[in-house]
Structure 1
């Protein structure tokens, strides 16, 4: 499983970001519906355009291919990828959506 932190470059013009964000949204919806992205959302403790994705793919190479489909990749955002193995998962996760 992976945690991906995405931070859009601060120097990206607002108009360009707004246009690209529509494409970015379609990208993450596609992979959420396919079951590759398990949980995602924006960071709310910053003014930066940044967020996190929890993902599960068959390999790091598959994840890389998915990230390369994002309109921000590679020049308009920073992608930090961390691999982890969850040991405990709360049954309350569905209740927390949107909170």
Structure 2
């Protein structure tokens, strides 16, 4: 499992960001529907366009290929990728996470 922090870089105009966000939304919906992205959403504690994705792929190489398809990749956003191995998951996780 991977945790991906995506942050749009400074300097992109609001118009360009809005134009690309539609493509970005289609990209993450596609991989959510394919069950490669398990959970995702924007950070709510900042005004900077950024968010997080929890992903499951067969390999890091597969994840890299998926990320390359994002409309912000490679020059307009930073992608911090961390490999993660959950050890405990609460039965209330979904109920607590979705508000």
- In structure 1, stretches of 5+ residues that fail to align are none
- In structure 2, stretches of 5+ residues that fail to align are none
**Which structure 1 residue ranges, 4+ long, deviate > 2 Å from structure 2?**
96-99
- Secondary structure in 2 matching 1:31: helix
2:30 is aligned to: 30
Corresponding pairs, count: 99
- Please give the TM-score of this superposition, normalised by the length of structure 2: 0.96
2:61 is aligned to: 61
Cα distance in 2 between the residues matched to 1:11 and 1:96: 35
Cα distance in 1 between the residues matched to 2:70 and 2:86: 26
Q: Does 2:71 match 1:45? A: no
Deviation of 1:8 after TM superposition, in Å, equals 0.3
Q: Does 2:98 match 1:89? A: no
Deviations 1:22-75 (A, max 9, x none): 000000000001000000000000110000000000000000000000000000
Deviation of 1:97 after TM superposition, in Å, equals 4.5
Name the Cα RMSD after superposition.
Answer: 0.9
